[in-house]
Amino acid sequence: METFESDDGHVVVRLDRGDMALESIEAACEAHDVDTGAVVSGIGTFSNLNIHYVDRTDLPDEQADRNVALELEGSWEVTNVGGAIADGEPHLHVTAFNGERTVGGHLEEGCEVNVLGEFTIRKFDGLSLTREPGEHSVSQLTER
């Protein structure tokens, strides 16, 4: 992993084969003091894809009762990663394609970079966000 920071608060993260996507983005946020911001672009290829998504319209309070986890092997072309960063913690979603199937969901730990990964993080000055449980224990952005 290598990171580059511009004068106007953008952090570009380059991931190489074997790097872990979410874990590296979290490390870049810490290294560059990104408390509140967004991952505004993300592309690459993963050798496995770990995501979860909500598959119901009724929302039980227990997240385990509403989330479907997928751990998918094989080469995945990542067409987009994006999301908000609050309290230094990214909440990211991903869309990826393996040649036959397109999937999307919440990016989880353990996604290993196959060929490359390129992510752009934008820091927000003058705004401080956190996440707090809302209705049905859904994590919601709020201002600190």
Q: How far apart are CA 140 and CA 144, in angstroms?
A: 12
- pTM (global) more than 0.85: yes
Which tens digits make up the pLDDT trace of 24-65? 999 999 999 999 999 999 999 999 999 999 887 777 666 667
Which tens digits make up the pLDDT trace of 72-107? 999 999 999 999 999 999 999 999 999 999 999 999
**Can you give the CATH number for the domain in which 41 is found?**
3.30.1330.80
- Containing domain of residue 8, as a range? 2-143
Number of domains in the chain: 1
Q: How far apart are CA 141 and CA 130, in angstroms?
A: 6
